[in-house]
Amino acid sequence: MPILSFAWLALLFSVPLWMADLYVLHVLIVTGIFIIAAMSLNLLLGYTGQLSLGHVAFFGIGAYVSSLVSLGCQVHLLPHWQVSLAAQPVWVGMLSGVAAAGLSGFLIGKIAFKVRGAYFVIVTVSFAEVVHLVALNWVELTQGPMALNNIRPLTLSIPFLVDISFARKPASYYLVLTVALVAYVLIRRLVRSRAGRAMVALRENEPLAASVGVDVTRYLVLATVLSAAIAGAAGVLYAHYVRIVDPDIFLFIYTVIMVIMVISGGKGTLAGPIVGGLIFGLLPEVLRAFAIKPEVQWVIYGVLMVLIVYFLPEGIVPAARSAWLALARPAAWRNAPRLMR
C-alpha cells in the first residue's frame, strides 16, 4: 500500500512538469481548493453524521478575514470609536483567516448542536445566510457588492534562503496540493484516534455512545472546529488565488457542491471527497467542452445528484471497494460483516 501512495503522490507532484496548458492547471487548482473544503465537510457529515448545510460560511469567513487582514481595513464600531488595522503580511492574513474560521466553528457548534437532524440543518443554513447578508451590507468593512480587489498572492521570503511568490499557476498548484495533503493527514489522524472512534460511535447511535461515557457536545464541537478551520484554509487559498472576494462566495450552491462531492465519493471514507471532488470539479469543464449552456449543465448536475443517491447511496468509493472485494476475494466478501462491505 505505501508503494501505491507514493505513486499517487509522485503523479500529483509531477503534474506541473508535464502539463503545459495553464487553463488545465487552473481547473486543477480550483478543484483542489474545493476538494479541501469537501474533505472538511466529510469530517462532519461522514464521521459525526451531522449535515451542515452552512459550510460555505466557514469557507467565506476564511477568505474574507485573510483578505481584510492582508489588505488592512478600518471600521466605525460605535459612532466615535474607529478601529483600524494596517496591512499585514499575507501569511499573517492566512493564519488569521484559518483561526477566524475555526473560532466561528466553535461558536456555531456550541449553538447549533443544541438541536439535531433537520433543525441542525436549518440552523446552519440560517447562519450562512446571515453571514452572507453581513458581507453584502457591511460596506464599510467588506465593500459589499463592490468586492475586495487587489488581494496579494502569498509570497514567502526568508533572507538568503527562500524567496517564492505564489502568483504563478505552478507555484499555486503546489501550495494547494501541500495544504490538501496536510488537511488529509490531519483528518486521517483524527478519525483513526480515540476521538475519531467516539465520533463514529455518535453517528451510529448517539444515546448508546452517550451512555458509555462519550462526551457528545465536546466531540461534536471538536469536529466542527477542525472542519471549519480546514474549510477556512480552503477559502484563504481561494481568496489569494483568484485575488478578488465578493459576497457571492457565500452562495448556497457552493455548499451544495461540497455536499455532492462528499456524498457521491462516499461519506465517511477518507478517499471519498477526493474521488467525488475530482469528478464534480472536472465535470463542468467536460460539459463545457461540449459547449452546453450553463443552465443545461446545472440541470445535468442536479439529475446526476438524484441518480447517485438512488443507485450509489453509499458513494463511489465504498461501492468500488465492495466490488473489488467481491472480485478478488469472493469467500472473504461473503463472510465479511455487513458494515465492512
Partner 1 sequence: MEQLLQHGVNALVLGGTYALLGIGLTLIFGIMRVVNFTHGELYSFGAYMMFLWVMQAGVNFFLALPLAVLLGLLLGAGIELLLLRRLRGADIDTTMLVMIGAWIALQNFEQLCWSGVAKSIATPFPAAPLVLGPVAVSWNRLFVFIVAIALIAATQALVKGTRLGKAMRATFQDRDTAALMGVDIALIHTATFALGSALAAAAGALLGPVFVVYPTMGDLASLKAFAIVILGGLGSIPGAAAGGFILAFIEELGAGYISSGYRDAMGFLLIIVILLVRPTGLVAQRERIS
Under the criterion CB under 8 A, does residue 317 sit at the interface with partner 1? Answer: no
Under the criterion CB under 8 A, does residue 122 sit at the interface with partner 1? Answer: yes
Under the criterion CB under 8 A, does residue 51 sit at the interface with partner 1? Answer: yes
Q: Rounded CA gap, 101 and 235, in Å?
A: 9
For the chain, the straight-line distance linking the first and the last C-alpha, in angstroms and rounded, comes to 20
Give the residue, chosen from 22, 130, 146, 208, that forms a contact with partner 1 under the rule CB under 8 A.
130
Q: Smallest distance from the beta carbon of 4 to partner 1, in angstroms? A: 31
Shorter beta-carbon distance to partner 1: residue 50 or 66: 50
Q: Rounded CA gap, 49 and 117, in Å?
A: 9
Give the residue, chosen from 15, 136, 278, 325, that forms a contact with partner 1 under the rule CB under 8 A.
136
Under the criterion CB under 8 A, does residue 332 sit at the interface with partner 1? Answer: no
Under the criterion CB under 8 A, does residue 182 sit at the interface with partner 1? Answer: no
**Cβ 163 vs Cβ 157: under 8 Å:** yes
Q: Residues touching partner 1: how many (CB under 8 A)?
A: 40
Under the criterion CB under 8 A, does residue 201 sit at the interface with partner 1? Answer: no
Binding positions for partner 1, 249-308, rule CB under 8 A: 252-253, 256, 259, 263, 293, 295-296, 298-299, 301-306
**Angle, to 10 degrees, between the axis of helix 216-242 and the axis of helix 55-71?**
50
Shorter beta-carbon distance to partner 1: residue 172 or 227: 227
Give the residue, chosen from 121, 287, 320, 325, that forms a contact with partner 1 under the rule CB under 8 A.
121
Q: Smallest distance from the beta carbon of 312 to partner 1, in angstroms? A: 12
Under the criterion CB under 8 A, does residue 4 sit at the interface with partner 1? Answer: no
Binding positions for partner 1, 72-111, rule CB under 8 A: 111
Shorter beta-carbon distance to partner 1: residue 68 or 308: 308
Under the criterion CB under 8 A, does residue 226 sit at the interface with partner 1? Answer: no
Under the criterion CB under 8 A, does residue 208 sit at the interface with partner 1? Answer: no
Shorter beta-carbon distance to partner 1: residue 111 or 340: 111
Positions touching partner 1 (CB under 8 A) are 51, 111-112, 114-119, 121-123, 125-127, 129-130, 133-134, 136-137, 252-253, 256, 259, 263, 293, 295-296, 298-299, 301-306, 309-310, 313
